[in-house]
Amino acid sequence: MTKIPDSAFAPPQIITGKARLAGVLGWPVSHSRSPALHNYWLRRYRIDGAYVPLPVRPEQFEAAVRGLQAAGFRGANVTIPHKEAACALADRLDPSAQRAGAVNTLVFEEEGRIRGLSTDGGGFVASLEADDLPVPASGKALLLGAGGAARSVAAALQDRGVQVSVTNRTQARAESLAAVLPGLEVVPWEAWEAGLGVYDLLVNTTSLGMEGGPDPMFRPSLKAASRALVVADIVYVPRLTPLLAEAEQHGLKTLGGLGMLLHQARLGFREWFGQDPVVDAETEATVRATF
Segment 277-290, tens digit of pLDDT = 999 999 999 999 99
Cα separation, 113 vs 144, in Å, equals: 33
At the top level of CATH, the class of 121-256 is alpha beta
Q: List the single range of 6-15, 155-164, 175-184, 236-245 with lowest mean pLDDT.
A: 6-15
Cα separation, 171 vs 153, in Å, equals: 18
Give the model's pLDDT for residue 255: 97
pLDDT tops 50 at residue 174: yes
DSSP 37-68: HHHHHHHHTT-SEEEEEEE--GGGHHHHHHHH
Q: List the single range of 125-139, 197-211, 242-256 with lowest mean pLDDT.
A: 125-139
Using CA atoms, how far residue 104 sits from 5, 205, 210, 221, in Å, is: 29, 13, 18, 30
Q: What angle do CA 91, 94, 100 make, to 5 degrees?
A: 100
pLDDT tops 90 at residue 176: yes
Give the model's pLDDT for residue 1: 44
Higher pLDDT, 147 or 145: 145
- Tell me the per-residue pLDDT of 251-277, one tens digit each, with 9 for 90 and over: 999 999 999 999 999 999 999 999 999
- Tell me the per-residue pLDDT of 90-139, one tens digit each, with 9 for 90 and over: 999 999 899 888 899 999 998 899 999 999 999 999 999 999 998 888 89
Please, what is the end-to-end C-alpha distance for the chain in angstroms?
12
At the top level of CATH, the class of 6-118+261-288 is alpha beta
CB 117 within 8 A of CB 105: yes
Give the model's pLDDT for residue 134: 84
- Tell me the per-residue pLDDT of 150-170, one tens digit each, with 9 for 90 and over: 999 999 999 999 999 999 999
Which of these is catalytic: 3, 18, 83, 140? 83
Question: What single letter denotes the amino acid at residue 94?
Answer: D
Do domains 6-118+261-288 and 121-256 share one topology? The answer is: yes
Q: Which of 87, 36, 22 is nearest to 270 (CA)?
A: 22
Average pLDDT over residues 43-58: 97
Confidence of residue 2 (pLDDT cuts 50, 70, 90): very low
Structural domain boundaries in the chain: 6-118+261-288, 121-256
Q: Is position 18 annotated as part of the catalytic site?
A: no
- Tell me the per-residue pLDDT of 5-40, one tens digit each, with 9 for 90 and over: 555 455 566 789 999 999 999 999 998 999 999 999
Give the global pTM: 0.87
Average pLDDT over residues 59-69: 98
